[in-house]
Structure 1
Amino acid sequence: MNILKLIPKYTLVIGLAMMSSCNDRLDEVNINPNGLDLSKANPNLLMPTVMTSAAMEYLKLGYGDVGGVAQHIQHDGWHEGVNSYGWGPQDWTAWYNMLRNNQLMLERATTIDSKFHMGVALTMKAFVFGTITDLWGDAPYTAAITGAKVDGTVTPVYDSQEVIYRGIIEDLKQASAHFATKDNSAYLTNYDVYYAGDASKWQKFANSLLLRYYMRISAKLPDVAKAGIESIYSSGIYIKLPSEDAVMNYLGTTADLSWPGAIQWDAQQTNFRRIKPAQTLVSKLLSNNDPRLTVWIAPVHCQWVADESLTVPLDEFIRKDGVIQTGIVSLTDIQYQTQIKAGAKFTRHYNPKLYTGTGTDAINTGLYVGIPAGMRQPDFYNRNPTTGQVVQNQHVSQLADVYRGSTGGILKARLMSASETSFILAEAAQKGWTAGTAKEHYENGIKNSLTTWGIESKYAAYIAEKNVAFNNSLAQIIDQKWIASWTVGTEAWFDFRRTGLPALVAGNASTENVLPVRFNYGDNELNFNGSNADAAINKLEVTSHSGLRGKNSQWSKPWLVQGTGKPW
């Protein structure tokens, strides 16, 4: 649904005021004191602030640094965080700001006994805390909102991941029970930007998050996970169709409220251009004849052509419809778009007998080309003659034109989907748990994904592909779930972390030869809550890859993967 149409202007102003008042200290309340009487706040007014903030931050992860770890995307400029995981300390301020607003919503909902708003607040609390502990590890939980003040600084103690995950599960159970009453009498139209006040869909969302977190802890607490997933499956109340997905459309009214990289707010289009598909994903889509390829990824502007009649190793200039364009090594993105739409075809020739480049210097003649993961100089890839960020790499695919937009269509922040729940149940069934048949859920996961991207008519042909037809392996289930998690790279990363699948490999630019498993605790915590942060850091498992950062490293293992032998 479109939140620009749904949220009254005064509500949006209040929400933006609350977001703009964020402060890096946990003792600052994220509410405009002049805009709202906190003792009388209507929980409806708080819903859009919490929901839009959570959706946008979650999308930024999967479309940014984490999308790079999942090897869905790579950057060819300002690429260290995405391509090689050169992360420093990362603060979680934005997530805890959401929790303070959400806590106020929960308290007001409890005061007025609104089952619907209590359910929403508990669901969002679980989602936000789940994201925090998924990313960092141990974190402030039971004392996160109030904390104990020492010399004016909030210093909440950290809870273990196990405590947090168990708390998340209990909150989601309680939320589901509230939604089961179907009582949304306190809800005012136009404030729910996910489900428009539909308690039944919210219950499916809450139960689907339960499926997610049960599977997340399945290696550490298998009995809890098994019983939980079997119970949710037995209830039949979870997201089954893409029309039930938890999604948010973008407003598109400002850069901050638009799809990341929207060219409307970037005259040079550099933010859009630096986001490239990863070759890992492109190769998988090509090998499977995957119809999602053309939905997500654009053809190269100028395709390499092998030509043994060429008397030099490489054409110096591009060719238009086979004719050398003397003096022109490339066109701008806009020039290419205009002429290609008019029917022109651009190529550049090379002689494979004379050109001897190997490895990342080898020429990729494909129509769809991604950047290999973790390259040291990704803007040079595939013999790009226009390195840097002024002109795009004509020999590497950009994302599909739809991702130049600000809002509408498939440009949604997706928190939970029918495709994800199907693959979770497929994995559960493959483990032998009582959750239906793995084959049916696996095929539903693929069908739901294709439907999400508007190509459901391609399902029959795709499911018959040799590498796609079900073979009852966990590797295949996770492989397809990884593909389907496009723009939700967090889930792909977390699945890789607990299973080692798909078998992703770090590139040469990474300081370690394996993928990271967490974010580093941020400077705010280290500086202002040092004793509690240090206690959490000391519980991390230092590995041979932790490197110079020591325990607080993206390669130190949190509780969730300690003792599992995963992902490496």
Structure 2
Amino acid sequence: MKIQKIGATLVLAGVLAAASGCKDFYDVNKNPLSPTATSLNTLLPVAQVSMASDLGDNVGGLSQYTMALMQQLYNTRGIGNFQQTGGSFGFPWSDLYSSMLVNNELIISQGTKEQQWGYVGIAQLQKAYVFSQMVDLWGDVPYSQALKGVDNIAPRFDKDVEIYNGSSDGSVQSLFALIDEGLANLNKSASNPGLTKSDLIYNGSPTKWARFGRTLKLKLYNQIRKTNSNATVISQVSPLLSADLMGDGDDFELAYRNTTNPDNRNPGYITDFSTNPENRIGRYFYEDMLAKSDPRMPYYFFNQVALAGPPVTQQDYINGPFVTVRPGSTGQYTSSASTASFQTVQGLYPIGGKYDDGKGGKTGTTAAQGKAEAPQRMLTYYARKFTEAELQLTVFNDVNAARAALVEALNASFRKVNTVATNDGSPVMTAAQITGYINRVAPNSQPITNSGPLDRFDRTHDDPTTAVPNPPYRPTTLEEKLEVIMYEKYVASFGYGVDVYTDFRRTKHPRIRVSQQVADPSRGLLPDDGGTQGNGVFPHRLYYPTSDLILNPNSPKTQKDVNSTIFWER
């Protein structure tokens, strides 16, 4: 499949992209195609659009790859069946460096010269965020010597742990120190011309950017918590937990608009609501939500098959109106041509598709059109609360505080879906639906795994896979409580897969089902029903682009083994 950059979105900010397409990072450093000097208010939106696109849920975006790894999506690129090569991730890697990070670095250097500290602080926080995401996916990456243009055309690959924590010799600045610099610069007085209009995320609000920066620090400390003692983690996160962090309305996200000339639509919508949708929905992801009666389903998924329509046949997997292809399926009905008119696709919430009213409709036609305005979420308020729930449970050993944070995370995630629905003009979930899901207790005829998150958090059946008329309940263990937190975060985060993939490798939660050849229960990888064939292993990291390993003499000489872990994984 041809991967192309959704460059038209840049017109939303009134600028032209300096570079697009699949370019090698080192070629760009030799002859940068981005301007060496331009106004800061034209550079900022270019960096932000590239960041959202390269990390997000669209063709070539890293969230689609990682959502496939986590069995939320399946597409023809094979990553959901654990196939990756040195060419799999060349586009997002290249574009993050050559478009996002190059322009972002120009903001830092030029903004510093002009003493436009608002721009500088924002760019430093964006740099810390993007590099943290790249380390989480690839491990060692060019960082301290990168983005210097002709002054260094072959930057070294810094160690993942040193990018996070800094090097002992001071040559590698830690991400935490970079965040602190950004926060300090946001506090400096400056005129910041054009910032309110050019900042597509927070409209130039230093308060919201500072909340994001502090929340990002909390997120990163939590991600590396297993590399430190609990006492150290407590000393790191306690000041942040009592600080001014992201709240409702502070989500770190990029908005889109329903215009086609220029095309400012959500780029994930452009492909999945075409006549040949890119992505199918993971079977077990869908069916777990179905078993739990999750009211978010019509916002998450759009069934092209009408609920009351004639039954569908000759498809790889069918469950009522739900149609999909299983990753690594051994069935005969797996071709994209035969499934395009029937497959369930991503819906309103992740990509601005159509709310599923049960009437069905073929994507790419007037019967199935959405506004394509759903934002690309990256770091949200509800993710912050899930992080707090994890920290309270695993580090502070405070079950009550963890439960309270979980409740707020759940409510915030539902509010977010309702916000997207309201903006779309679609029906919203009622308070009764939301509380019904959160507080639901499974009838005795159903497994406890189908009950609501609070019931699962508080207690579980001795055999959670079996329904018993009068089940002997027992208090959940810490790991079982963590499974509830991470499962709910997994579901709430649909549409941004990078952190879902990172969370799974860090915690081994939530448990997901994969081909039996790939299954490893010790890692949270449970076997499926045997109807699929795995091709490879579930990776601890992504492959580097082969071209960059060849072009850069300071790169690793060979690919890192996908079984080798990122430093924070224990």
Cα 1:12–1:368 change in 2 (3 A) is: same
1:496 to partner: Cα distance: 0.6
CA distance in 2, matches of 1:295, 1:389: 26
- Whether the 8 Å contact between 1:179 and 1:199 is mirrored in structure 2 is yes
1:255 to partner: Cα distance: 9.1
- Whether the 8 Å contact between 2:215 and 2:245 is mirrored in structure 1 is yes
The one-character-per-residue Cα deviations of 1:391-435 (angstroms, maximum 9, x if unpaired) are 5364x5333375268985662111210111000000001124399
Cα 1:370–1:114 change in 2 (3 A) is: same
2:453 to 468, 477, 499: 468
Q: Which residue of 1 aligns with 2:47?
A: 50
- Whether the 8 Å contact between 2:183 and 2:210 is mirrored in structure 1 is yes
Q: Which residue of 2 aligns with 1:168?
A: 175
CA distance in 2, matches of 1:46, 1:529: 27
2:297 to 286, 293, 308: 293
CA distance in 2, matches of 1:267, 1:279: 20
CA distance in 1, matches of 2:105, 2:381: 28
1:62 to partner: Cα distance: 5.3
CA distance in 2, matches of 1:391, 1:431: 44
Q: Please give the TM-score of this superposition, normalised by the length of structure 2.
A: 0.74
Q: Which residue of 1 aligns with 2:421?
A: none
Partner SS, residue 74 of structure 1 = strand
1:227 to partner: Cα distance: 2.7
CA distance in 2, matches of 1:266, 1:62: 16
Q: Which residue of 2 aligns with 1:375?
A: 329
CA distance in 1, matches of 2:396, 2:555: 39
Cα 1:182–1:434 change in 2 (3 A) is: farther
2:203 to 160, 171, 196: 196
Cα 1:148–1:163 change in 2 (3 A) is: farther
1:186 to partner: Cα distance: 4.1
1:398 to 345, 349, 372: 345
- Whether the 8 Å contact between 2:8 and 2:263 is mirrored in structure 1 is no
CA distance in 1, matches of 2:62, 2:9: 26
1:216 to partner: Cα distance: 1.4
CA distance in 2, matches of 1:433, 1:127: 26
Cα 1:406–1:55 change in 2 (3 A) is: farther
Aligned length: 470
Q: Which residue of 2 aligns with 1:430?
A: 393
1:257 to partner: Cα distance: 4.9
- Whether the 8 Å contact between 1:420 and 1:445 is mirrored in structure 2 is yes
1:46 to partner: Cα distance: 1.1
Q: Which residue of 2 aligns with 1:308?
A: none
The one-character-per-residue Cα deviations of 1:181-227 (angstroms, maximum 9, x if unpaired) are 58665454310000111111111111121122111111123455433
Q: 1:258-337 residue pairs with structure 2 within 5 A?
A: 258-262=265-269, 269-270=275-276, 272=277, 274-299=278-303, 301=305
The one-character-per-residue Cα deviations of 1:269-292 (angstroms, maximum 9, x if unpaired) are 11x2x4111112112211221111
- Whether the 8 Å contact between 2:142 and 2:155 is mirrored in structure 1 is yes
Cα 1:261–1:409 change in 2 (3 A) is: closer
CA distance in 2, matches of 1:293, 1:559: 36
1:125 to 106, 109, 127: 127
Q: 1:448-467 residue pairs with structure 2 within 5 A?
A: 448-454=412-418, 455=429, 457=431, 458-465=433-440, 466-467=451-452
1:511 to 527, 535, 542: 535
- Structure 1 spans left out of the alignment, 5+ residues: 304-343, 351-359, 382-386, 538-550
- Whether the 8 Å contact between 1:21 and 1:32 is mirrored in structure 2 is no
- Whether the 8 Å contact between 1:262 and 1:406 is mirrored in structure 2 is no
Q: 1:15-164 residue pairs with structure 2 within 5 A?
A: 16-19=17-20, 24-25=25-26, 26-28=28-30, 30-33=32-35, 38=37, 41-59=38-56, 60=58, 61=61, 63-75=63-75, 78-89=76-87, 90-91=89-90, 92-97=93-98, 98-146=100-148, 154-164=153-163
Cα 1:282–1:261 change in 2 (3 A) is: same
Cα 1:266–1:461 change in 2 (3 A) is: closer
1:552 to partner: Cα distance: 2.8
Q: Which residue of 2 aligns with 1:486?
A: 494
- The structure with the largest alpha-carbon Rg is 1
Q: Which residue of 1 aligns with 2:446?
A: none
CA distance in 2, matches of 1:464, 1:182: 48
The one-character-per-residue Cα deviations of 1:217-273 (angstroms, maximum 9, x if unpaired) are 1112345543332221111x21121x211111235537975333545x799611x2x
1:527 corresponds to 2:550 = yes
- Whether the 8 Å contact between 2:233 and 2:395 is mirrored in structure 1 is no
CA distance in 1, matches of 2:8, 2:263: 17
Instruction: Give the aligned residue type for 2:437.
Output: Y
Instruction: Give the aligned residue type for 1:392.
Output: A
1:522 to partner: Cα distance: 1.3
CA distance in 1, matches of 2:493, 2:126: 20
Cα 1:267–1:158 change in 2 (3 A) is: closer
Instruction: Give the aligned residue type for 2:48.
Output: M
The one-character-per-residue Cα deviations of 1:22-70 (angstroms, maximum 9, x if unpaired) are 654252454555xxx62xx332221101111001111144552211011
Cα 1:107–1:532 change in 2 (3 A) is: same
1:555 to partner: Cα distance: 3.2
Partner SS, residue 414 of structure 1 = strand
Partner SS, residue 548 of structure 2 = helix
Partner SS, residue 247 of structure 1 = strand
CA distance in 2, matches of 1:348, 1:21: 40
- 420-429 vs 501-510, greater mean Cα deviation: 501-510
1:154 to partner: Cα distance: 1.7
Instruction: Give the aligned residue type for 1:464.
Output: N
Instruction: Give the aligned residue type for 2:417.
Output: W
The one-character-per-residue Cα deviations of 1:291-342 (angstroms, maximum 9, x if unpaired) are 1111111346167xxxxxxxxxxxxxxxxxxxxxxxxxxxxxxxxxxxxxxx
- Structure 2 spans left out of the alignment, 5+ residues: 1-6, 166-173, 354-362, 419-428, 441-450, 459-477, 516-531
Instruction: Give the aligned residue type for 2:310.
Output: F
Instruction: Give the aligned residue type for 2:543.
Output: N
Q: Please give the TM-score of this superposition, normalised by the length of structure 1.
A: 0.74
- Whether the 8 Å contact between 1:6 and 1:191 is mirrored in structure 2 is no
CA distance in 1, matches of 2:555, 2:18: 31
- Whether the 8 Å contact between 1:140 and 1:156 is mirrored in structure 2 is yes
1:138 to partner: Cα distance: 0.6
- Whether the 8 Å contact between 2:9 and 2:263 is mirrored in structure 1 is no
1:345 to 292, 298, 309: 309
The one-character-per-residue Cα deviations of 1:521-561 (angstroms, maximum 9, x if unpaired) are 11222111144322xx5xxxxxxxxxxxxx53433323332
